[in-house]
Structure 1
Amino acid sequence: MIDFLSEPNFQRLAFLLGGLLLGVLVERVFFTQFQKFTKKTDFEWDDVIAHSFKGVLAVWFTAGGAYLALTVGDWDPLATAVILKVLKVLFILPVIVAAMRGVRAVVEGVSDRSQFNSPTLVVNLVRLAIGILGTFLILQNLDIDITPLITSLGIAGLAVALALQDTLGNLFAGVQIILTGLVKPGNYVQLSTGERGYIEDVKARNTTINTFPDGNLVVVPNATMASSIVKNYSMPVEALWVSLDIGVSYDSDLDKVEKTVMEVATEVLTEMNATDPTAEGPIVKVRFHTFGASSIDLQVRLLVQTFTSQGRVRHQFIKQLHKRFNEEGIEIPFPIRTLINKE
């Protein structure tokens, strides 16, 4: 029995299986408990670490067991060199995967706090950069000269660029859209071509817009998006003024009209929670502006919190104002045409 335990092959297998079992044990017990602990804390970055390094420890312990197995007995030098290079890859590759996971988790966390979805293009470009750097790092650790590879990639890249001009044009246009920061996911925009809706995402080739109130998905190439005239209703602030024109009779008490309109507008905005509670200054403005043919005309402006809430506010305000005008005896005149027949 003792002779069997001293066999090199048995010891190598023991180290390899021991590393694997220890890695699985650490992953299932220690790491699982660590994940439960991170979910209970208010600190967000420990969740990112737990998510990023899931499965990494198991690979590292297995690679460590394989490395210890190499120390037992005599190995062929060529086989040892090959196995060591493989183990280097097994140590580096999980770090690259963890970094890619971490980037996505960090971007999603920032998006949640800013209440805006982060463009998919940003995440993909950063992950691509990490993947390329990680690949070069692995090649260097494998003693592979990357200079010819970089040269070849440069020549191949030129050929690909010529073949994929439209694709690359959309890619760089998407990067431009993101870097300028004038259009972001979650913004309500209207294009010069007439499409309007919420920006859902900026991808490598296109920008997706969810139309409102239809709920359809409009796909716009990034190059078209970058060259179009875009009206962004969410910037510089999301709140906007909604204007309505009203006419009242020449017999009306204008002070009473102004007071009534102000009261109704304020009540509607408050009841519907449609205005920004932190807004400074008035949320309702009333201005008389024209002596019309059959009425004195005024404009009412209401400060609403979002572009999409203006329809509901306008609807409710017209209903409530009409009811209140009837109660107060304020007349909304309509044009009357008198025909005179001279005989």
Structure 2
Amino acid sequence: MLLPLCILIGSLMAGITMDKLINRRIKKHLKIEEGTWRFIFINALRGVPVSLALVTGLYWIVNTIDIPDSLARLFSYILFTVIVLSITRVTSRTVGSVIERQIEKSGENLPKTTLLSTILTVVIYAMGVLIILQYYGISVAPILTAMGVGGMAVALALQETLANIFAGLHLILSKQIRLDDYIRLSTGEEGRVTDITWRFTTIIPVGGGNMIVIPNQKIASSNITNFSMPRRDIIISVPVGVSYDSDLDKVERVTLEVAREVLARTDEDVKTEPAVSFHTLADSSINFNVVMHSSLFDRQFRLKHEFIKALIKRYRSEGIEIPYPVRTVIQENQGKE
């Protein structure tokens, strides 16, 4: 019994050592090689050397000592199962990473959501289980037939759930919404998309309020306003009015200086310059719009807040007046002598 125990412990130590080397290599080359084919494959091997080393040790033990045929057959089933599941695990990780890499490389905005990851994993592991069952001598054809017949009954019982699954796939593949998009539904719900699962889509409103969970079918059948497409940045227009006594060149210069300072402080991702556009000679003021860009839809509210505060403060220090509405009322003398 001493030899099999030594073999098992030695195999386990070898597997742990190999796994540590893989993790060390991943950390060392994470920033340099991330996204390359070699990095994807090495990353997919994490944790696998331990199980494969144990399989090798068990195989060595089976061929070293005399054991009953029934026990040897059981060990062979265990060995084959571990090998297939290890290969399946590596394949699932590799395929998922390769698909994600190709999407990023092609420039497509197809989101890698929980739904896509779950479907991909289930399909690959299902193939691995079928291979294992075939090795055990269990015919796969009757199982598939039973699954087909039973699937019809399940489909009838789970119509709403299946509708949500296919609606979620439709949303992802049609690229109507993506992760981190800010959307508004015709039913009134709005927020930033955080995930698309097999049944629900979750969004977070502006300001980080409570999470809103919406069935995929409801989103697919709603009118959607996507504020992140075709571009994530949006245009903000802030109306301002100054008195007729103001120097308009000075007003424009000061306003743009304030806008640039606020943008640099609150939304440094914006590269587009702000602009001032005079448009109306009103009754009490000369009106204009301050046009700025916000990198994300929900950043516009803080940007407006900070800009208005800074603009009022700067106008007061520069002596620029924002007039109140003025009305002159002329009343005829009704009295007669």
Q: TM-score, normalised by structure 1?
A: 0.82
Residue 257 of structure 1 aligns with which residue?
251
Residue 58 of structure 1 aligns with which residue?
53
Deviates more, 1:202-211 or 1:24-33: 24-33
1:218 and 2:218 matched: no
Q: Which amino acid aligns with 1:329?
A: G
Match of 2:277 among 269, 287, 293: 287
CA 1:95/1:27 → structure 2, altered by over 3 Å: closer, same or farther? same
Shift of 1:235: 2.4
Shift of 1:310: 1.6
Once the two structures are superposed, what CA deviation does each residue of 1:93-127 show, in whole Å capped at 9, x if it has no partner? 22223444556777899999999983111111111
SS of alignment partner, residue 46 of structure 2: helix
CA distance in 1, matches of 2:314, 2:135: 80
Matches within 5 A, 1:1-343: 14=3, 16-41=4-29, 42-44=32-34, 45=39, 48-53=43-48, 55-69=50-64, 76=69, 81=73, 83-100=75-92, 118-277=112-271, 279=272, 283-341=273-331, 342-343=333-334
Shift of 1:74: 8.3
| Unpaired segments ≥5 residues, structure 1 | 1-9
CA 1:36/1:301 → structure 2, altered by over 3 Å: closer, same or farther? same
Shift of 1:267: 2.6
SS of alignment partner, residue 51 of structure 1: coil
CA contact (8 A) 1:265 1:317 kept: yes
Q: Which amino acid aligns with 1:146?
A: V
Shift of 1:266: 2.1
SS of alignment partner, residue 237 of structure 2: strand
CA distance in 2, matches of 1:30, 1:228: 52
Q: Which amino acid aligns with 1:17?
A: L
CA 1:39/1:116 → structure 2, altered by over 3 Å: closer, same or farther? farther
CA contact (8 A) 1:18 1:65 kept: no
Shift of 1:221: 0.4
CA distance in 2, matches of 1:68, 1:318: 81
CA distance in 2, matches of 1:93, 1:74: 25
Q: Which amino acid aligns with 1:153?
A: M
Q: Which amino acid aligns with 2:260?
A: T
Q: Which amino acid aligns with 2:305?
A: H
Shift of 1:32: 2.2
SS of alignment partner, residue 161 of structure 1: helix
Same amino acid, percent of matched pairs: 35
CA 1:301/1:156 → structure 2, altered by over 3 Å: closer, same or farther? same
SS of alignment partner, residue 241 of structure 1: strand
Q: Which amino acid aligns with 2:142?
A: P
Shift of 1:248: 1.9
CA 1:38/1:266 → structure 2, altered by over 3 Å: closer, same or farther? closer
CA contact (8 A) 1:19 1:64 kept: no
Q: TM-score, normalised by structure 2?
A: 0.83
CA contact (8 A) 2:110 2:175 kept: no
Once the two structures are superposed, what CA deviation does each residue of 1:13-46 show, in whole Å capped at 9, x if it has no partner? 84x5354223212123333234223322243426
Shift of 1:286: 1.6
Q: Which amino acid aligns with 1:40?
A: K
Once the two structures are superposed, what CA deviation does each residue of 1:144-171 show, in whole Å capped at 9, x if it has no partner? 2211211111111111001000000001
Shift of 1:333: 1.7
Deviates more, 1:23-32 or 1:158-167: 23-32
CA distance in 2, matches of 1:224, 1:272: 35
